[in-house]
Amino acid sequence: MRRNALVADRRVEAERPAGMALGAAAGFWSLGRACARIAGGWPRQAACLAAGLMLLGAAGTATLGLRSGSGGLLVATVVAFAAGSGWNGLKVLMVVRSVPRAPAAAMGVVMVGAFGGGVIGPFGLGLLIEAVGYRAAWAIAASTLVAAAGLVLYAGRRLTTHASAQETHVSRG
Protein backbone atom coordinates (compact mmCIF):
# COMPACT_ATOMS: atom_id res chain seq x y z
CA MET A 1 0.00 0.00 0.00
CA ARG A 2 1.32 3.40 -0.88
CA ARG A 3 1.96 5.86 1.92
CA ASN A 4 -0.54 8.43 0.55
CA ALA A 5 -3.31 5.86 0.41
CA LEU A 6 -2.60 4.79 3.99
CA VAL A 7 -2.60 8.39 5.24
CA ALA A 8 -5.84 9.13 3.36
CA ASP A 9 -7.50 6.01 4.77
CA ARG A 10 -6.57 6.89 8.35
CA ARG A 11 -7.55 10.53 7.89
CA VAL A 12 -10.98 9.64 6.51
CA GLU A 13 -11.54 7.16 9.31
CA ALA A 14 -10.53 9.71 11.95
CA GLU A 15 -12.53 12.63 10.54
CA ARG A 16 -15.76 10.98 9.41
CA PRO A 17 -18.95 12.02 11.19
CA ALA A 18 -20.39 9.57 13.70
CA GLY A 19 -22.75 7.13 12.04
CA MET A 20 -21.46 7.72 8.49
CA ALA A 21 -20.25 4.62 6.68
CA LEU A 22 -16.52 4.60 5.97
CA GLY A 23 -17.15 4.11 2.23
CA ALA A 24 -19.42 7.15 2.04
CA ALA A 25 -16.94 9.27 4.01
CA ALA A 26 -14.12 8.16 1.70
CA GLY A 27 -16.22 9.03 -1.33
CA PHE A 28 -16.98 12.53 -0.08
CA TRP A 29 -13.35 13.03 0.94
CA SER A 30 -12.16 11.92 -2.51
CA LEU A 31 -14.62 14.23 -4.25
CA GLY A 32 -13.47 17.15 -2.12
CA ARG A 33 -9.78 16.40 -2.78
CA ALA A 34 -10.42 16.07 -6.51
CA CYS A 35 -12.25 19.38 -6.58
CA ALA A 36 -9.46 21.07 -4.62
CA ARG A 37 -6.82 19.77 -7.04
CA ILE A 38 -8.83 20.79 -10.10
CA ALA A 39 -9.89 24.14 -8.75
CA GLY A 40 -6.67 26.04 -8.20
CA GLY A 41 -8.15 29.51 -7.60
CA TRP A 42 -11.29 30.61 -5.73
CA PRO A 43 -13.53 31.02 -8.81
CA ARG A 44 -12.74 27.53 -9.97
CA GLN A 45 -12.98 26.23 -6.41
CA ALA A 46 -16.50 27.62 -6.00
CA ALA A 47 -17.34 26.42 -9.51
CA CYS A 48 -16.11 22.93 -8.71
CA LEU A 49 -18.16 22.76 -5.53
CA ALA A 50 -21.24 24.10 -7.33
CA ALA A 51 -20.78 21.61 -10.16
CA GLY A 52 -20.37 18.78 -7.64
CA LEU A 53 -23.62 19.76 -5.96
CA MET A 54 -25.32 19.99 -9.36
CA LEU A 55 -24.14 16.50 -10.29
CA LEU A 56 -25.32 15.11 -6.96
CA GLY A 57 -28.64 16.89 -7.51
CA ALA A 58 -28.81 15.41 -11.01
CA ALA A 59 -28.42 11.91 -9.55
CA GLY A 60 -31.25 12.60 -7.09
CA THR A 61 -33.41 14.12 -9.83
CA ALA A 62 -32.90 11.12 -12.12
CA THR A 63 -33.82 8.84 -9.22
CA LEU A 64 -37.14 10.68 -8.80
CA GLY A 65 -38.31 9.03 -12.02
CA LEU A 66 -37.77 5.54 -10.63
CA ARG A 67 -40.43 3.80 -8.64
CA SER A 68 -38.54 2.71 -5.57
CA GLY A 69 -41.10 3.03 -2.78
CA SER A 70 -41.65 5.84 -0.29
CA GLY A 71 -38.22 5.50 1.36
CA GLY A 72 -36.41 5.79 -1.96
CA LEU A 73 -38.62 8.69 -2.97
CA LEU A 74 -37.83 10.50 0.29
CA VAL A 75 -34.07 10.07 -0.16
CA ALA A 76 -34.20 11.06 -3.85
CA THR A 77 -36.28 14.14 -3.02
CA VAL A 78 -33.93 15.31 -0.28
CA VAL A 79 -30.84 14.75 -2.45
CA ALA A 80 -32.42 16.31 -5.56
CA PHE A 81 -33.60 19.46 -3.86
CA ALA A 82 -30.86 19.94 -1.26
CA ALA A 83 -27.94 19.34 -3.62
CA GLY A 84 -29.76 20.44 -6.77
CA SER A 85 -30.53 23.83 -5.22
CA GLY A 86 -27.71 24.09 -2.67
CA TRP A 87 -25.26 25.55 -5.17
CA ASN A 88 -27.04 28.92 -5.43
CA GLY A 89 -24.96 30.48 -2.66
CA LEU A 90 -21.80 29.50 -4.51
CA LYS A 91 -23.20 31.13 -7.65
CA VAL A 92 -23.68 34.38 -5.74
CA LEU A 93 -20.12 34.12 -4.38
CA MET A 94 -18.68 33.59 -7.87
CA VAL A 95 -20.58 36.50 -9.39
CA VAL A 96 -19.98 39.01 -6.60
CA ARG A 97 -16.26 38.24 -6.36
CA SER A 98 -15.78 38.30 -10.12
CA VAL A 99 -17.32 41.79 -10.48
CA PRO A 100 -16.15 43.63 -7.33
CA ARG A 101 -16.84 47.10 -8.75
CA ALA A 102 -20.52 46.41 -9.53
CA PRO A 103 -21.71 43.31 -7.66
CA ALA A 104 -25.35 44.43 -7.48
CA ALA A 105 -25.56 45.00 -11.23
CA ALA A 106 -23.92 41.64 -11.92
CA MET A 107 -26.31 39.85 -9.56
CA GLY A 108 -29.25 41.64 -11.17
CA VAL A 109 -28.34 40.14 -14.53
CA VAL A 110 -27.86 36.68 -13.01
CA MET A 111 -31.13 36.85 -11.07
CA VAL A 112 -33.13 37.54 -14.25
CA GLY A 113 -32.12 34.09 -15.43
CA ALA A 114 -32.61 32.49 -12.03
CA PHE A 115 -36.09 33.86 -11.45
CA GLY A 116 -37.05 33.30 -15.08
CA GLY A 117 -36.13 29.64 -14.66
CA GLY A 118 -38.07 29.51 -11.40
CA VAL A 119 -41.18 30.70 -13.22
CA ILE A 120 -40.83 28.76 -16.45
CA GLY A 121 -39.21 25.57 -15.06
CA PRO A 122 -42.16 24.05 -13.17
CA PHE A 123 -44.55 24.86 -16.01
CA GLY A 124 -42.15 23.36 -18.54
CA LEU A 125 -41.60 20.24 -16.42
CA GLY A 126 -45.35 19.76 -16.15
CA LEU A 127 -45.72 19.95 -19.92
CA LEU A 128 -42.79 17.58 -20.33
CA ILE A 129 -44.33 15.07 -17.89
CA GLU A 130 -47.57 15.11 -19.86
CA ALA A 131 -45.71 14.62 -23.13
CA VAL A 132 -43.16 11.92 -22.21
CA GLY A 133 -44.07 10.65 -18.72
CA TYR A 134 -42.44 11.00 -15.31
CA ARG A 135 -39.38 8.81 -15.82
CA ALA A 136 -38.25 10.53 -19.04
CA ALA A 137 -39.10 14.02 -17.73
CA TRP A 138 -37.01 13.55 -14.58
CA ALA A 139 -34.17 12.12 -16.71
CA ILE A 140 -34.31 15.19 -18.96
CA ALA A 141 -34.34 17.48 -15.92
CA ALA A 142 -31.30 15.64 -14.54
CA SER A 143 -29.48 16.01 -17.86
CA THR A 144 -30.02 19.77 -17.75
CA LEU A 145 -28.30 19.84 -14.35
CA VAL A 146 -25.39 17.85 -15.80
CA ALA A 147 -25.11 20.32 -18.70
CA ALA A 148 -25.32 23.24 -16.25
CA ALA A 149 -22.51 21.70 -14.16
CA GLY A 150 -20.31 21.65 -17.25
CA LEU A 151 -21.12 25.29 -17.97
CA VAL A 152 -20.33 26.27 -14.38
CA LEU A 153 -16.92 24.58 -14.60
CA TYR A 154 -16.26 26.38 -17.88
CA ALA A 155 -17.30 29.71 -16.33
CA GLY A 156 -15.06 29.07 -13.30
CA ARG A 157 -12.11 28.44 -15.59
CA ARG A 158 -12.86 31.64 -17.53
CA LEU A 159 -13.20 33.68 -14.33
CA THR A 160 -9.85 32.41 -13.07
CA THR A 161 -8.18 33.28 -16.38
CA HIS A 162 -9.83 36.71 -16.41
CA ALA A 163 -8.84 37.41 -12.78
CA SER A 164 -5.18 36.50 -13.44
CA ALA A 165 -5.14 38.68 -16.56
CA GLN A 166 -6.48 41.63 -14.53
CA GLU A 167 -3.91 41.10 -11.77
CA THR A 168 -1.12 41.06 -14.38
CA HIS A 169 -2.49 44.24 -15.97
CA VAL A 170 -2.76 46.02 -12.60
CA SER A 171 0.74 44.98 -11.51
CA ARG A 172 2.25 46.35 -14.72
CA GLY A 173 0.46 49.60 -13.99
User: Are residues 147 and 94 part of one domain?
Assistant: yes
Q: pTM of the full predicted structure?
A: 0.64
Instruction: Work out how many domains the chain is built from and give that number.
Output: 2
pLDDT tens readout for residues 55-113: 988 998 888 888 667 777 888 888 888 887 777 788 888 888 888 888 899 888 888 88
User: Are residues 155 and 109 part of one domain?
Assistant: yes
The DSSP annotation for the chain comes to --HHHHHHHHHHHHHSPTT--HHHHHHHHHHHHHHHHHH-SHHHHHHHHHHHHHHHHHHHHHHHTS--HHHHHHHHHHHHHHHHHTTHHHHHHHHHHH-TT-HHHHHHHHHHHHHHHHHHHHHHHHHHHHHH-HHHHHHHHHHHHHHHHHHHHHHHHHHHHHHHHHHHHHHH-
In which domain, by residue range, is 35 found?
1-39
Task: Give the pLDDT band (50/70/90) at residue 14.
Answer: low
